[in-house]
Amino acid sequence: MENQKTIMITSDLPPDFIPFNRPHLAGPELEYIRQAAASGKLSGNGMFTQRCQQFFEQDYGIPKVLLTTSGTDALEMAALLLNLQPGDEVIVPSYTFTSTANAFVLRGARIVFADSLSDHPNLDVARLEALITPRTRVIVPVHYGGQPCNMVALLSLARQYKLWVVEDAAQAIEARFLNRPLGTFGHLAAFSFHETKNLSAGEGGMLAINDADLATRAEIIWEKGTNRAAFARGESARYEWVDIGSSFLPSELNAAYLWAQVEARTIIQQQRQQLWETYAKALAPLAAAGAFGLLPALPDSQPNWHIFALLCNSQTERDDLLAHLREQHILAVFHYLPLHRSPYYTPRHDGRPLPHADRFGQTLVRLPLYHELQPEQQERIIEAIRTFYEA
């Protein structure tokens, strides 16, 4: 009995607990998984995988899309595809998830951290040029919360210095910059379908290959270094080992789940927008009175409502706010500990201060934002924030 109690930890949560995230079932996920099982093919690159890939190729205008088992895997594929070598330098924002940098560190690259904008976690494109050296190979912009980095300025810099651009579009599905989908600007882009992202497969991801010259090799790296995909299309006489690679394909079970989410994307996005705008409207007066900050909408952006964040005035205030919400049975969270401050990378960092990344790491709070969040729950969250600041 004791054991069972510790295992079934969710049943110990108070009945009015509001989680930070809850996976959304759009409807047909389980039926599509049943169809995948009935089809007799559950390994990768089956019908549902191809449906998802073709959808994004056509809808976003991407020459080649490959589903992966995670956004992390898509970034690792990018690092393999670009032949990153020990000593190569890769420019990455410090305020991001580990995988943005780790994918390149796995190839021996040195990470040069960029600071964020003063008012938004995205890297400051105006201060990128100073970070470029003769060893720089790649720039990895992260579109935080689906808000775009200035890709016009960034691409022009990359062209001038002949650098690759890999967009970390993990949070940017369905977001646009200048009316074009994020993830279609760089040579490559990594998307994530992790449980916490707008469209989900539990764990999942996708590599967008916008530079068509990289497409053939991408498919080989994806299929464990073999030409299996080309062979299956009848383009190669033999199925054999032709290059390095790994196992980056998701199972059809995951792709089937994802396809239901892709089909439901309009409704999913509308619901997120509505929840996001409810927060924005209710919290604007407190923000205007200086209680906390809100992230600005960045220029030329059509956002995807991925994150709603508050910026507290100090780390202590942030921690107190999270504790206050916890007392009201609401789970809000902070992220990221800037990577230049991480136990792994601090000894490798060149020592430049990155004050804006530090500040977002100390003061940013993400509020619960998921499809099934009910109006009365959202009202409770807003009320709890009001009582914290008006006390």
Ligand X SMILES: *Cc1c(COP(=O)(O)O)cnc(C)c1O
Binding site for ligand X (CB under 6 A): 70-72, 96-97, 99-100, 142, 168, 170-171, 192, 194, 205
Task: Kindly state the smallest distance separating residue 390's Cβ from ligand X, in Å.
Answer: 33
Task: Kindly state the smallest distance separating residue 68's Cβ from ligand X, in Å.
Answer: 8
Tokens coding 251: 């199972």
359/361 Cα distance (integer angstroms): 5
Task: Kindly state the smallest distance separating residue 303's Cβ from ligand X, in Å.
Answer: 15
Q: Of the two residues 104 and 388, which places its CB atom closer to ligand X in the complex?
A: 104
Task: Kindly state the smallest distance separating residue 76's Cβ from ligand X, in Å.
Answer: 9
Give strand pairing partners of 333.
366
286/283 Cα distance (integer angstroms): 6
Decide if 227 contacts 221 (C-beta within 8 A).
Answer: no
174/169 Cα distance (integer angstroms): 10
Q: Of the two residues 44 and 205, which places its CB atom closer to ligand X in the complex?
A: 205
310/322 Cα distance (integer angstroms): 11
Q: Of the two residues 246 and 377, which places its CB atom closer to ligand X in the complex?
A: 246
Neighbours of 83 (CB within 10 A): 12
Task: Kindly state the smallest distance separating residue 104's Cβ from ligand X, in Å.
Answer: 12
Task: Kindly state the smallest distance separating residue 58's Cβ from ligand X, in Å.
Answer: 23
- What single letter denotes the amino acid at residue 19? P
Q: Of the two residues 121 and 245, which places its CB atom closer to ligand X in the complex?
A: 121
- Residue with the shortest CB distance to ligand X: 71
Task: Kindly state the smallest distance separating residue 230's Cβ from ligand X, in Å.
Answer: 27
Q: Of the two residues 24 and 228, which places its CB atom closer to ligand X in the complex?
A: 24
237/168 Cα distance (integer angstroms): 36
Residues 6+ apart with CB under 8 A from 90: 84, 101, 104, 109, 110, 111, 112, 136, 137, 138, 139, 140
Q: Of the two residues 21 and 226, which places its CB atom closer to ligand X in the complex?
A: 21
Q: How many CA atoms lie within 13 A of 85 on its CB side?
A: 2
Question: How far out from the chain centre does Cα 319 lie?
Answer: 24
Q: Of the two residues 208 and 291, which places its CB atom closer to ligand X in the complex?
A: 208
